[in-house]
Structure 1
Amino acid sequence: MEKCALQGVEFKKGETGSLCFAVREISEDLKIEIRSRLSEICNGAAKASRNTTLYSYQRTLSAFFQKFDTKSSDTQKGMIGELLTHVLLLHYESDFRSASTFFNLEEDSIKKGFDLVLHHDTTGQIWFVEVKAGDCGGKTSIQKLGDLLSLAKNGLKTALNSKRFTLWQNAVHGATVVIQDRSLKEQIENLLEGYNEKALEGESTSTDYNAALVAVSYLGNQEFATPEEFDRRHNAQKEMNEFHDLISIAFQKDTFQSVVEFLRGEIKDV
């Protein structure tokens, strides 16, 4: 199911699983969407729905910048890329729901493990997401998007082939605190714990899992890549058959600073 378009955001979906977003401006539509989703993204839907100020928009903004401002520029670009993924992917592809939080549950940082874990309401399948972001520099946007897709693929393959217990347990823990519906929570926990068991037994391989590779290109003065160009990059990755199924997602924005400036401007002096 697709929702209505947001002003300032161009979106096109390819026939074989490519999704191309061009964020032309931080429009009022996009601002409203970020405001409405930020607490849920960072803290999880279960906490965001509680009648407490602990997970309010203002407290979440403050917590976000406590983590964001201590990070390197490269990590900050990745954080904004992941935030855009949460906001825009789940708006336009609303059959997906997040089964993970943006914030680390225990440390004063962003979470460790898979960048996102998604549940598809129609199919019941789990999708694992890897986000890579960076400036174009001297490259065209499509060249940068291609490079980032390859980095995301390699990173996710390594994770999915890993025996690392904490990686999979973080995914289980995320679903536990995020999902509100008890039946769905148990369903997702059982799936993830089954994957965890396979990993510990050395039987986990990337071809068993659905993957969503996200490439976030900050253009500077470069031109936006076309959806058709990105679709060709996606098909090249898909033909390698390194995952059970594959979605490739492109986000293009002039700079990440414009998103940061909007968020920082939302903080009220209290």
Structure 2
Amino acid sequence: MPFKSNVFDSECRELAGGNHIHFINIPALVDKITTHIDASIVSICEGATCTDLATIKQRLIAFLTPKKGTTTEMGAIAEFFGHLYLTEIGFNQEFLFLNLEEGSIKKGFDGYYSLDDETWIYESKSGSTATEGITHESKISLAYSDLKDKISGNPANNPWQNAYNHACHIDVGTDASIRQNLKALARAFTQGTRQDIGSFNIIPGSTLFLEGSWSDIDENDLSPKLEQLIDTFSFTKIHIVCVNKASIDLFWAYLEN
């Protein structure tokens, strides 16, 4: 199934088995992107509410301000644009970007999506190119490791219960079948049963912030490296999402406009 964005400068490469690698370049927030953010920001953050644009911007500013200058700020902004892209190409968001506890970070998966009759688990990792040795491959590997730990390991919090709590929010509108499956997984986790990551569809994501000189992702160089990496992963299906973004300040300029 081909995936094409009408908003972002992006390319999607389809691999065997229904797997995909997405490359997205965001050197600036051009009008097409800011218009799309305007249309999507409320649903991404709060679901199907009637909150106006100015209010949701204020809520995001309040959420991000205490985190300024930290990796949490960078991670939250990277994650937001991941949700913006995935929902634009057709994935259905079964959670709220802003946690149910005001001001806190989600204690489970970064995202839980549905597409047609399948569900997908998203994990976003990010960093600055000012960090020596940082690559999309290393961030994708880290995202996969975190997914594996949450699904198959012993995380401090029950990720399925958190996903279930989000899916049960009336403004998310998740189908009953998805909620029931999440509840069964949450119950199994509580009882000590862990799942095999190979039984799930996953979306590891990487965002690199290019604070300084800009360069597009070199898809021809990166794609074979990611395909080699995929061969070491366990999953049912996989979408890998790699984003080059100019700077954190782009989103702040949008919010404060």
Determine whether 1:246 maps to 2:238: yes
AA matched with 1:78: G
Residue by residue over 1:93-148, the C-alpha shift from the partner in whole angstroms, topping out at 9 and shown as x without a partner, is 21x1000111110232233211011011x2x11111000111012657xx521111
Q: Hey, what's the Cα distance between the residues in 1 that align with 2:144 and 2:22?
A: 16
Paired residue for 1:104?
A: 99
Paired residue for 2:13?
A: 14
Could you tell me how far 1:230 is from its partner in structure 2? Answer: 2.9
| Seq. identity, % | 19
Paired residue for 1:198?
A: 188
- Asked if the contact 2:4/2:11 (under 8 Å) is kept, the reply is no
- Asked if the contact 2:164/2:179 (under 8 Å) is kept, the reply is yes
Q: Alignment partner of 1:79: what SS?
A: helix
Paired residue for 1:74?
A: 71
- 1:165 and 1:263, CA in 2 relative to 1: closer, same or farther beyond 3 A? closer
Paired residue for 2:44?
A: 41
Q: Which runs of 5+ in 1 are unaligned?
A: 266-270
Q: Hey, what's the Cα distance between the residues in 2 that align with 1:146 and 1:224?
A: 16
Residue by residue over 1:24-47, the C-alpha shift from the partner in whole angstroms, topping out at 9 and shown as x without a partner, is 2211110011011111111123xx
AA matched with 1:197: R
AA matched with 1:111: K
Q: Alignment partner of 1:215: what SS?
A: strand
Pairing of 1:191-270 with structure 2 (within 5 A): 191-199=181-189, 200-220=191-211, 221=213, 223-265=215-257
Determine whether 1:189 maps to 2:179: yes
TM superposition score normalised by structure 1: 0.84
- Asked if the contact 2:78/2:126 (under 8 Å) is kept, the reply is yes
The farther-off stretch of 25-34 and 156-165 is: 156-165
Q: Hey, what's the Cα distance between the residues in 2 that align with 1:160 and 1:190?
A: 17
AA matched with 2:61: F
Q: Hey, what's the Cα distance between the residues in 2 that align with 1:188 and 1:148?
A: 29
Paired residue for 2:61?
A: 65
AA matched with 1:60: I
AA matched with 1:144: T
Q: Alignment partner of 1:243: what SS?
A: coil
Q: Hey, what's the Cα distance between the residues in 1 that align with 2:185 and 2:158?
A: 12
- Asked if the contact 2:95/2:112 (under 8 Å) is kept, the reply is yes
**Count of residues in correspondence between the two structures:** 247
Q: 2:172 aligns with which of 175, 179, 182?
A: 179
TM superposition score normalised by structure 2: 0.88
Q: CA RMSD in A?
A: 2.0
Paired residue for 1:25?
A: 28
Could you tell me how far 1:57 is from its partner in structure 2? Answer: 1.6
- 1:233 and 1:193, CA in 2 relative to 1: closer, same or farther beyond 3 A? farther
Pairing of 1:106-185 with structure 2 (within 5 A): 106-120=101-115, 122=116, 124-137=117-130, 144-162=135-153, 166-177=158-169, 178-180=171-173, 185=175
Could you tell me how far 1:90 is from its partner in structure 2? Answer: 1.4
The farther-off stretch of 72-81 and 127-136 is: 72-81
Q: Alignment partner of 1:245: what SS?
A: coil
- Asked if the contact 1:212/1:248 (under 8 Å) is kept, the reply is yes
Q: Alignment partner of 2:168: what SS?
A: helix
Could you tell me how far 1:3 is from its partner in structure 2? Answer: 5.9
- 1:233 and 1:14, CA in 2 relative to 1: closer, same or farther beyond 3 A? same
- 1:36 and 1:222, CA in 2 relative to 1: closer, same or farther beyond 3 A? closer
